[in-house]
Amino acid sequence: MAAYIAGDKAAFRELFRRYTPLLLRAMARDLRSPEEANDLVQQTFLHLHRSRLDFEPGRKLKPWIFTIALNLKREYFRRSKRRHETSLDDDRVAEPFEGPRGQERSDASRETARALSALPAEHREVIELHWFGGLSFPEVAEALGSTVAAVKVRAHRGYVALRARLGDDAPVPHGIHEGKPSIEGSK
Amino acid sequence: MDCTQIRDAFVSGARPEAQAREHLASCPQCRELFERDAELGRNLAAQTTRPLPSSDDLFEQIEGKLARETGPRAWLRSRPSPLRFTLLLLPLLLVLLAGGLLGQRADLEHYPMQRVALLLCVYFLAIALAFGKQLSESPRGHALGDYVGLLAFALAVPALAAFAPATEVSRRIESSGAFGCFGYGALLTLPIALLLWALDRDDRPSLRTVCLSAAALGLSANLLLELHCGNGDWAHVLGGHASLGVAWLVAWAVTRRLSRARGRP
């Protein structure tokens, strides 16, 4: 970021390369089309450019970028007076995996995406930033202007609600990872 | 091990096992991820591998827009926020000073100065708060209350002031009509409105911008008129002074609508 503030154009390309996938993954889930998602990312980088002199050296960049993106996203929903009636998720979960196990994974993915979309915004936001934006909980707290303890409580409530929504009959995507994490006695 | 490493382990498929057990003992939210054979953790991890919307020419589009970021407005809106705040407050102070000196109300020397000072302080603090909120880059949250409250204050207080008991001197005063006061307030706050627009970093004025700008400009106009006009008649104050807040609200709302219409494909 320091190089970018100093006028290094390559540094901006690097920022774009590093943060665009994270922003798209975390922010685009509630939007109706890829164009809307790209527009939001574009606005985020324009805003970042305009506010680059506000960036304090030594501060973490990732929460700051996400603060800008979240402010823009909230305004986007206020402007369009809606919140993800039809999200990108509905299209993307329909993308098939191969084979019967793939179908199982696709079902689980769709169920999870739906359950996530149905969460209250304050819970969903924390989970999306942590899981899809790659932010740690202290970074999520910074991005949202909240405390780490409050953010963890919101994540916990979100997880509990997600598990309740997924219920007992939701398909579990077995074998998504070869070495899936499992802790004996944690059940 | 911490929550982020647990998440990373789910995403990468590694086995955190021994170290995770210690973390799980003290972390209720991560424990939820491991319930029922780690169902939730694996489902959320699966979401992180899903395809993203295509962004092939996005960088070129942004570069194109950045190349057009030139001129006075681009320079002003890219200044650090404390400087933008100062650039907004200083001209307002100058306008207040000039307006107060040039078009001073006839009964000012008879007017209780504590009342004037209190009014100046309350209005000026509310204006500074509105400017500060509008120019800040801090997280904005979901609540509308923080700016709708300020707007309600800016609209209600000058209207309530119309029904405050008038002093003996102000009852005898003959001042310009309501239309004259409206024009005087609008004209003097117009440069502040233009500056506010130039310093705002959003391309499309948000609902927040509309409310905060209208609140700040409405209060600024009423502050100017408080120093300019001593007419205490309620119809005059409502029509010529308090209505300026509503007028600025309408002006910003129209600007917002026009910008939305222009931004639509």
Q: Break chain A into its structural domains and give their ranges.
A: 1-84, 102-170
- The span from the CA of B241 to the CA of B185, in Å, is 8
Same domain, B148 and B225: yes
CB-CB neighbours of B158 under 10 Å: 25
Q: How many domains does chain B have?
A: 2
Percentage above 90 pLDDT, chain B? 33
Q: Which residue has the tokens 């008991």?
A: B165
Q: Examine residue B8 and state whether it is found in any structural domain, yes or no.
A: yes
How confident is the prediction for chain A on average, in pLDDT? 77
- Angle of helix B178-199 relative to helix B81-102, nearest 10 degrees? 160
Determine, for residues B201 and A51 on separate chains, whether the beta-carbon distance falls below 8 Å: yes
- A122-156 as b/e, with b when 16 or more CB fall inside 10 Å? bbbbbbbbbbbbbbbbbbbbbbbebeeeebbbbbb
Tell me how far the alpha carbon of residue A49 is from its chain's centroid.
22
Q: Examine residue B58 and state whether it is found in any structural domain, yes or no.
A: no
pLDDT at A81: 64
- The span from the CA of A1 to the CA of A19, in Å, is 12
Among B6, B12, B19, B50, the residue to mutate for chain A (most A Cβ within 10 A): B50
Q: Domain containing B7: what range?
A: 3-47
Q: Examine residue B63 and state whether it is found in any structural domain, yes or no.
A: no
Tell me how far the alpha carbon of residue B203 is from its chain's centroid.
14
- CA neighbor of A27 nearest in space, from A164, A131, A182, A173: A131
Q: Which residues neighbour A157 within 8 Å (Cβ) at sequence distance 6 or greater?
A: A123
- CA neighbor of B229 nearest in space, from B153, B163, B177: B177
Interface of A with B in 119-158 (CB under 8 A): 121-122, 127, 130-132, 136-137, 143-146, 152, 155-156
Rounded to a whole number of angstroms, the distance from the CA of A28 to the nearest CA of chain B is 8
Q: Examine residue B113 and state whether it is found in any structural domain, yes or no.
A: yes
Q: Is A18 on the interface with B (CB under 8 A)?
A: no
A169-183, B22-36, B107-121: the lowest-pLDDT one = A169-183
CB B257 within 8 A of CB B207: no
pLDDT at A104: 55
Helix (H) or strand (E) holding B83: helix B81-102
* Torsion (CA) B238, B239, B240, B243 in degrees, nearest 10: 80
- The span from the CA of A136 to the CA of A150, in Å, is 14
Percentage above 70 pLDDT, chain A? 74
Q: Examine residue B52 and state whether it is found in any structural domain, yes or no.
A: no
At residue B55 the predicted structure's pLDDT band, cuts being 50, 70 and 90, is low
DSSP string, A102-166: HHHHHHHHHHHHHHHHTS-HHHHHHHHHHHTS---HHHHHHHHT--HHHHHHHHHHHHHHHHHHH
Same domain, B41 and B149: no
Q: Rounded to the nearest 5 degrees, what angle is found at the Cα of B209, between the Cα atoms of B205 and B210? A: 85
Q: Where are the alpha helices (DSSP H) in B200-242?
A: 207-228, 234-236
Burial class of residue A45, CB neighbours in 10 A (0-12, 13-18, 19+): buried
At residue A106 the predicted structure's pLDDT band, cuts being 50, 70 and 90, is low
Write out pLDDT tens, residues A108-149: 777 888 888 888 888 999 999 999 998 999 999 999 989 999
Determine, for residues A182 and B2 on separate chains, whether the beta-carbon distance falls below 8 Å: no
- The span from the CA of A112 to the CA of B152, in Å, is 42
Same domain, B151 and B251: yes
Q: Which chain A residue is nearest to residue B143, measuring alpha carbons?
A: A74
Set of chain A residues whose Cβ sits within 8 Å of the Cβ of B137: 51, 54, 67-68, 71
pLDDT at A89: 47
- CA neighbor of B237 nearest in space, from B141, B172, B163, B174: B163
DSSP-derived letter for residue A181 is -
3-state helix, strand, coil in chain B (%, to 5): 75, 0, 25
Fold of A102-170: Arc Repressor Mutant, subunit A (1.10.10)
Q: Where are the alpha helices (DSSP H) in B17-57?
A: 17-26, 28-47
Assign domain A1-84 to a CATH class.
mainly alpha
Q: Which of B48, B81, B138 faces A25 most closely, judged by CB atoms? A: B48
At residue A88 the predicted structure's pLDDT band, cuts being 50, 70 and 90, is very low
| A90 has pLDDT over 60 | no
Rounded to a whole number of angstroms, the distance from the CA of B229 to the nearest CA of chain A is 39
Q: Which chain B residue is nearest to residue A105, measuring alpha carbons?
A: B46
Q: Examine residue B15 and state whether it is found in any structural domain, yes or no.
A: yes
Same domain, B161 and B234: yes
